[in-house]
């Protein structure tokens, strides 16, 4: 029974990965400004939460609807993990299917040797066994594919009027198939953490 479940899970992830090969390449917005994920996600979503990304989930309690299903216009909230001590937030620009979304976010990949860049409509894949969006793999510009790390999520924060508490957005099953930037100062700790994580993700991908 366990072998059957593992095979089924692997097959579903394979279908989600296959769907990524059938969509256009993600867009990159090269900028000389250093952009942090928090103000960019706030600008894109309209969700008025301030402070480090790791505080967004708790701050949203009682102010915005939260949930475990992706919705276009929502903010995906990452838990602190490994060297990413401050967490991360990303705007959901598209829901592709039950296992795949596209993110528009800042300060994730290093692009042309620079941190704090914007990536638009990049894929993120749900790799949780129960399809509950508790873990995702995220696209890295440097390797042209989702990295190997399974990033833990708190869930999604929904913008005002977007979704009511307790409701679930309808999504199709996985099948094979801007606004102005806000400037922020670079954080050396943040840069070093992501530099190490990006290298480890690339190593994990190509060492399999």
Helix (H), strand (E) at residue 125: strand 118-126
Is-contact 157 78, C-beta < 8 A? no
- Please enumerate in sequence order all residues whose Cβ is within 8 A of that of 37, keeping only pairs 6 or more positions apart, or say none: 53, 88, 89, 90, 105, 106, 107, 108
Helices (H), the chain: 2-20, 37-45, 56-60, 188-206
d(CA 139, CA 127): 13
Looking up residue 41, the CATH number of its domain turns out to be 3.90.1720.10
The domain tally of the chain equals 1
In tens digits, the chain (208 residues) has pLDDT values of: 555 545 555 555 555 554 454 445 565 555 557 899 999 999 999 999 999 999 999 999 999 999 999 999 999 999 999 999 999 999 999 999 999 999 999 999 999 999 999 999 999 999 999 999 999 999 999 999 999 999 999 999 999 866 544 444 445 555 544 444 444 444 555 555 555 566 556 555 544 4
Q: Give the domain range for residue 169.
A: 2-206
pTM score, two decimals?
Answer: 0.70
């Amino acid at each position: 029974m366990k072998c059957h479940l593992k095979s089924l899970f692997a097959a579903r992830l394979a279908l989600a990965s296959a769907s990524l090969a059938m969509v256009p390449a993600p867009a990159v917005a090269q900028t000389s400004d250093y952009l942090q994920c928090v103000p960019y996600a706030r600008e894109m979503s309209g969700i008025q939460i301030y402070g480090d990304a790791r505080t967004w989930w708790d701050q949203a309690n009682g102010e915005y609807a939260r949930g475990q299903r992706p919705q276009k216009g929502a903010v995906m909230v990452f838990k602190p993990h490994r060297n990413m001590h401050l967490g991360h937030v990303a705007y959901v620009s598209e829901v592709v299917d039950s296992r795949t979304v596209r993110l528009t976010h800042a300060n994730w990949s290093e692009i042309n040797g620079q941190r704090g860049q914007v990536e638009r409509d990049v894929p993120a894949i749900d790799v949780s066994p129960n399809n509950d969006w508790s873990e995702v793999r995220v696209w890295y510009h440097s390797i042209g594919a989702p990295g190997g790390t399974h990033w833990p999520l708190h869930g999604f924060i929904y913008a005002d009027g977007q979704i009511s508490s307790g409701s679930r957005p309808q999504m199709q099953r996985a099948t094979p198939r801007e606004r102005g930037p806000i400037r922020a100062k670079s954080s050396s700790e943040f840069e070093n953490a992501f530099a190490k994580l990006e290298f480890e993700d690339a190593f994990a991908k190509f060492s399999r």
